[in-house]
Amino acid sequence: MTNSHDHDHDNELDPMTARVRALETILSEKGLIDPAAIDAIVDTYQNRVGPQNGARVVARAWSDTEFADWLARDATAAIASLGFTGRQGEHMHAVFNTPQTHNLVVCTLCSCYPWSVLGLPPVWYKSPPYRSRAVMDPRGVLEEFGVRLDKDVNIRVWDSTAELRYLVVPMRPAGTDGLDEDALAALVSRDSMIGTGLAEAPE
């Protein structure tokens, strides 16, 4: 960027903002992208598609054994029945925590993540510390999330190396009998559906 005149505001942009703005400008000028479409995409993942979707799926599975069976058998269809479909959720697989086995999802090769039910992945999920250690030292990783599993609990790590996307169904916490789906969904954190957390106990 030139610096020929005094304090054009663009000259004070941080390097990434300037770089991205330049690319968006070029592509818009060429008619290859529509900036309003970018706004719509951002709005989708900021406000509409996020872990609240996955929490609905888990709450339904906890409340309805028929749905849970369907989710285990054909997660893509069961999840679609709640209205959650699309990009990075085309081929879904649900994995259920049990007292014997805790499930943890990672993508060691990039950042594969079930967008349709969890939204965009958090920074740590895409970063080398998690991607390198989840498959080798999952207990150490879990401790960094404040999760300590009993020694006799087995850990199963799902490395998303292809186009299947995994959703962990955490165990239903004790003391939640009689709670409706809304109340149950509120106990289901994003991390509990990745496997780096557990469902919260009701207050």
Q: Any catalytic annotation for residue 107?
A: yes
Residue of 16, 64, 83, 90 lying closest to 169 (CA atoms): 64
- Choosing from 112, 116, 160, 192, the catalytic residue is 112
Residues in 131-170 that interact with other proteins by CB under 8 A:
131-139, 141, 144-145, 151-164
Q: Any catalytic annotation for residue 189?
A: no
Reduced to 3 states (helix: H, G, I; strand: E, B; else coil), residue 157 is strand
Residues in 32-51 that interact with other proteins by CB under 8 A:
32-34, 36-42, 44-46, 49-50
Closest separation between CB of residue 46 and other proteins, Å?
5
Give the ranges where 4-114 is alpha helix by DSSP (H): 15-29, 35-43, 51-63, 65-73, 75-80
Residues in 68-127 that interact with other proteins by CB under 8 A:
85-91, 93, 108-111, 116, 119-120, 122-124, 126-127
- Choosing from 63, 81, 111, 189, the catalytic residue is 111
**Which single residue is written with the structure tokens 């999802």?**
105
Are 91 and 164 in contact by the 8 Å Cβ rule? The answer is yes
**Which single residue is written with the structure tokens 């989708």?**
44
- Pick from 8, 19, 69, 182 the residue near other proteins by CB under 8 A: 19
Report the catalytic residues. Answer: 107, 110-112
